Chain A
Amino acid sequence: MNPEPPIPLHGEPRLQLLHISKRYPSVLANDDVSLVVRPGEIHAVLGENGAGKSTLMKVIYGAVKADMGEIMWNGRQVDIPDPAAARALGIGMVFQHFSLFETLTVVENIALSLGGEFDLASLAIKVSEVSKRYGLPLDPLRHVYSLSVGERQRVEIVRCLLQNPQLLILDEPTSVLTPQAVRKLFETLRQLASEGVSILYISHKLDEIRELCERATVMRGGRVTGEANPRQESSASLARMMIGRELPHCEAPVFEGERKPLLEIRALSREPDDAFGTRLSDIALTVHSGEVVGIAGISGNGQAELLAALSGETPVAREMVQLCGEAVGHRDAGARRDRGLSFVPEERLGRGAVPAMSLADNALLTAHRQDLVRHGLRRFAAARDFAQRCIERFDVRCGGAAAQARSLSGGNLQKFIVGREIMQTPKVMIVAQPTWGVDVGASAFLRQTLIDLSRSGVGVLVISEELEELFEICDRIAVLAGGRLSPAVPREQTNAEAIGLAMSGLFAQPTPESTHAA
């Protein structure tokens, strides 16, 4: 379309946002935000969850309409009513949650967002060309459901590149990548910038931004709280701008009690029920009292399947899961809870809690074991009381026990669910993505809560995509990749580099643990 994008005069902004405001029914997502991006610049938008970054990007991409403010594009005021208009201007966006269609092929997905003639064969050739040129290998004829998360991101990026964008927006792109893949992505982005493409890079990861970006706009609570050259800032000073104080840290004391095996996974293998699922093969791991064990890895590598197998949502063979010495692999989630297992899933609304029910009713979901039901009848006052105690003890900000689960913010709902499970005095607690979408303060609280729980003699297993989080709270870390689990290594004996290698599946299996089990 534009073989040679006109390179504007040095310094003339490519994109200028002036006083953008956007209000949702319950929150002012963007409050008088202004921003300047120049050609060839890699510009970071930094802020924690809920700071308003994603809304701002959607305004630029035409997916959300701002209530007030102006957008200037290459010096002209423009109106961007929809994503098609944004693409026509030369704005491409790679979403955090991908907008790909699983049952279509790569090339069909790309064809959908391109205008012009509908010719899949010649488009497939173009896709291959572009993907080679920017080091993003792709098979255009594969179905998306068969791709890994990283490959899906490549599809999104290639899709944008085929439209010769002048501005590329990436929303938290590295959460789905191994450290090595992050480095590859940065190379691609620098190559694009050197060709004159402006890049808006949205993230909450300070180290990445300091490595990649020349300028950063920091947001907090919907407002711009600062602009900086991230290379001249320390992580601490960026964090102050981002959250208004130093990043909080957790305390992990030494466990004094007896170290007993509580949860043992023995040679666990399972075919997925789901057509898009991952096969688990020969997984072995032991979680002891007094420790936090972490499972790193990118979602889609068997995390969902492993969690369901451990929680009992999809039972497996009897011997594959041992809880406090009893084989429970064949039992369902309720029976495992009766035996001291607690579980906090990654989906809070719809799985960990029923969105349309009150917190008191949601307490009943798993805590009915706490004498909230007698003779098959519900004890309403007892459930309210339980929910109220949970709210107080775990500092859940909400409208009381009668508030609907869906009215709570992500962090507060997570505190409620974690609290509900802890108050049932579990022997083993499994938590998936404990701080996804949770603000920094609540994250620190949740992490400390999990450490304290383990030190009281509980075995805690955490599955997370956030490496920093795992290094902060875990005593041992394993990696799940392609449905296989690497041996759990003490935190002091490993580092991000080694974990990253394991994420790409480079580790030895079977592990000593699984041979022992067999």
Chain B
Amino acid sequence: MIEVLIPILAGTLAAATPLIYAGLGELVAERSGVINLGVEGMMLIGAVAGFAAAVETGGGAGVGFLAGAAAGTLAALCFAVITLSLAANQSAAGLALTIFGIGLSAFIGQHYVSHSLPGLKPVALPLLSSIPLIGPVFFKQDMGVYLSFVFFGIVWWVLAKTKLGLMLRAVGESPESAHALGFPVFAIRYGAVLFGGAMAGIAGAYLSTVYTPLWVQNMSAGRGWIAVALVVFATWKPGRLLLGAWLFGGVTILQFHAQALGVRLPSQLLSALPYIATIVVLVLISRDRKLLQLNLPASLGKSFVPGR
């Protein structure tokens, strides 16, 4: 039984990794009060940039991650300028970014359709990987997975333990009050949005340089949107985001193992599972209005113009 379980669980972790990256980035942006629905677009831009950089330089996934992060940051910068400096509608701007990102990535990606990359080999961490079950699941993964744990740790620590995290939460609740206290509201929001872009870019680069590793048009297949939904599911808490990402990783992996598990459903309907699961999860969490209200950054989605 364990022999069957280990590859499923290990695969779950890998499938969850892009969701962890993108979700953590969106979580930070939303905690500052900015909802960026452009995650899907930023992921695709990151994916194509990472893939192109890795192919052109021959530098592998590491270069891909850097290029993906840079491209995602750049995309987020466009979003930040019009939603923060120009106070435009965040939902619509995010959607524009996604439409733009789908187009731009397909445009750049056409030159790379036939290429492939070696990906990343799993690295077994000494000692840890020999723990039964947990070892092969958690500690025989590629560096991209480990890096996502590192980012998770950093985001958790900053939000929970530092003054910067406190300021971020304060800005997300009431930019007006934060401004009255003299906080650099714009700098904090810009920082959070750009971080979100970098993380979405890495998420995309992980997909194209490690997970697949190929460039396929529209390869994120809604993962960016699922990441946005995960942040709601996580009630804006990093720990719950991690659990949510694993849950979705599991759902994604399950469709590949469904046949072996004796499920006789058409493959298309199995592919719909993650999307249906997203809806189910949203419904479950949104029913509890008070829980949402206590955790929702109160200024989420609202533009801030000092002195209005």
Binding site for B on A (CB under 8 A): 62-64, 82-84, 87, 95, 98-104, 108, 111-113, 118, 273-276
Contact = CB atoms under 8 A, between A and B. Distances in A.
A342 to B, nearest CB: 29
B173 A102 contact: yes
B290 interface: yes
A118 B182 contact: no
A320 to B, nearest CB: 22
Interface in B172-198: 173-174, 176-178, 180-183
Contacts of B298: 102-103
Contact of A104 (B166, B293, B294, B295): B166
22 contacts: A63-B180, A64-B307, A82-B182, A84-B182, A87-B182, A99-B174, A99-B176, A99-B180, A101-B169, A101-B170, A101-B173, A101-B177, A102-B298, A103-B169, A104-B166, A111-B166, A112-B163, A112-B166, A112-B170, A113-B181, A118-B162, A275-B290
A104 B169 contact: yes
B287 interface: no
Contact of A108 (B166, B174, B178, B289): B166
Contacts of A101: 169-170, 173-174, 177-178
Given A99-B177, A103-B173, A83 B182 contact: yes
A275 B294 CA distance: 7
B167 interface: yes
A99 to B, nearest CB: 4
Contacts of A87: 182
Contact of A100 (B163, B177, B183, B295): B177
Contacts of A95: 180
A136 B16 CA distance: 50
Q: Identify the 3 closest CB pairs spanning chains A and B, nearest first.
A: A83-B182, A99-B177, A84-B182
A83 B180 contact: yes
Most chain A CB neighbours (cut-off 10 Å) among B162, B176, B182: B182
A82 B295 CA distance: 30
A159 to B, nearest CB: 10
A98 B293 CA distance: 20
Given A83-B181, A95-B180, A273-B289, A103 B294 contact: yes
Nearest to A83: B182
Interface residues on B, range: 20 to 34
Interface string B130-174: 000000000000000000000000000000001100110110011
A75 B288 CA distance: 58
Contacts of A273: 289
A91 B294 CA distance: 33
Interface in B280-308: 289-290, 293-295, 298, 307
Contacts of A276: 293
Contacts of B176: 99
Contacts of A98: 177
Nearest to A98: B177
Contacts of B180: 63, 83, 95, 99
Nearest to A86: B182
B240 to A, nearest CB: 16
Given A83-B182, A101-B170, A112-B181, 5 more contacts: A62-B182, A64-B307, A83-B181, A99-B177, A102-B173
Contacts of B295: 103
Contacts of B174: 99, 101
Contacts of A118: 162-163
A145 B163 CA distance: 20
Nearest to A100: B177
A189 B284 CA distance: 51
A63 B289 CA distance: 35
Contacts of A103: 169, 173, 294-295, 298
A275 B166 CA distance: 21
Contacts of A63: 180
A222 B228 CA distance: 48
Nearest to B180: A99
Interface string B112-131: 00000000000000000000
A155 to B, nearest CB: 12
Contacts of B294: 103, 275
Contacts of A113: 181
Nearest to A87: B182
Nearest to A62: B182
Q: Which of B162, B178, B181, B307 has the most CB of A within 10 A?
A: B181
Contacts of B290: 274-275
Nearest to B183: A112
B99 to A, nearest CB: 28
A104 B289 contact: no
A82 B163 CA distance: 20
A84 B182 CA distance: 6
B176 to A, nearest CB: 8
Contacts of B182: 62, 82-84, 87
Nearest to B297: A103
A364 B158 CA distance: 50
B285 to A, nearest CB: 15
A103 B180 CA distance: 17
A146 to B, nearest CB: 11
Contacts of A84: 182
Contacts of B307: 64
B128 to A, nearest CB: 33
Contacts of A100: 177
A308 B129 CA distance: 59
A460 to B, nearest CB: 34
B163 A274 contact: no
Contacts of B170: 101, 104, 112
B129 to A, nearest CB: 37
A104 B290 CA distance: 16
A48 B307 CA distance: 21
A118 B170 CA distance: 15
A391 to B, nearest CB: 27
Nearest to A82: B182
Nearest to B294: A275
Contacts of A83: 180-182
B163 A111 contact: yes
Interface string B258-298: 00000000000000000000000000000001100111001
B13 to A, nearest CB: 32
Contacts of B183: 112
Name the residue in A87, A95, A103, A118 with the highest tally of chain B Cβ atoms < 10 Å from its Cβ.
A103
B233 to A, nearest CB: 18
A340 B38 CA distance: 49
A112 B170 CA distance: 9
Contacts of A62: 182
B293 A275 contact: yes
Contacts of A274: 290, 293
Contacts of B177: 98-101
Contacts of B163: 111-112, 118
A83 B294 CA distance: 29
B288 to A, nearest CB: 10
Contacts of B162: 118
Contacts of A64: 307
